[in-house]
Amino acid sequence: MVNTFKIYKPLLRATMKLAGVRPQKIEVEPGTVMNIWAPTRSKKNANNGKKPAVVFLHGFVGDGILTWQFQVLALARDYAVYVPDLLFFGGSSTGDGRRTVGFQAECQARGLAKLGVQQCTVVGFSYGAMVAFRLAELQPELVESVVATSSGPVVTESLSRECLERLGFPTWSEVLLPDSA
């Protein structure tokens, strides 16, 4: 049986490079590395350039470029498009023990700052939309607007705890992440 992703991923990488974006490894803090697909000349194309910046945040599965490939192809000519892999997905990783939306948002802000983004529109899907809302809350000067789909804007600690109790789990990690293969 052929794994279609093993064939598709190199083709996707080549297509994204032709569209003008490439993956960059950005160390946002010691031990935390973000993989961010960014314009080939990100410093020039960030807010000091002519193109407005758009950041796409994926949901709780896969990676950024697989989720947003069609949007990148449609928008890369007119916008400086940034597609990070959220921590623990794709090529982004950390040794930090924090597993919060706030930590994800802080890392996004640091990564975008290192790429020269001063202001952007953030588009988030599902979990990525939760990160987008938190990023806008933490960095209002960075986030001009948020486009969110398939997500609630705020999940309070009490709502989260109540939902976990109904499901019979102590943490969201235990609900969403497998214990074994």
Q: Tell me, what's the pLDDT at 113?
A: 97
Q: Pick the range with the lowest mean pLDDT from 98-102, 134-138, 157-161.
A: 157-161
Check pLDDT > 80 for residue 41.
Answer: no
Q: What is the pLDDT of residue 180?
A: 72
> What's at 48, amino acid-wise?
N
- Rounded-to-10 torsion of CA 75, 80, 85, 86: -110
Looking at domain 4-150, what is its CATH homologous superfamily?
Alpha/Beta hydrolase fold, catalytic domain (3.40.50.1820)
State the span(s) of the chain assigned CATH 3.40.50.1820. 4-150
Rounded CA-CA distance 81/42 in Å is 9
Percent residues over pLDDT 70 in the chain: 92
What is the chain's mean pLDDT, rounded? 90
Model confidence at 35, pLDDT cuts 50, 70, 90, reads very high
Tell me, what's the pLDDT at 51? 94
Is the pLDDT assigned to residue 155 strictly greater than 60?
Answer: yes
- Maximum alpha-carbon separation in the chain: 51
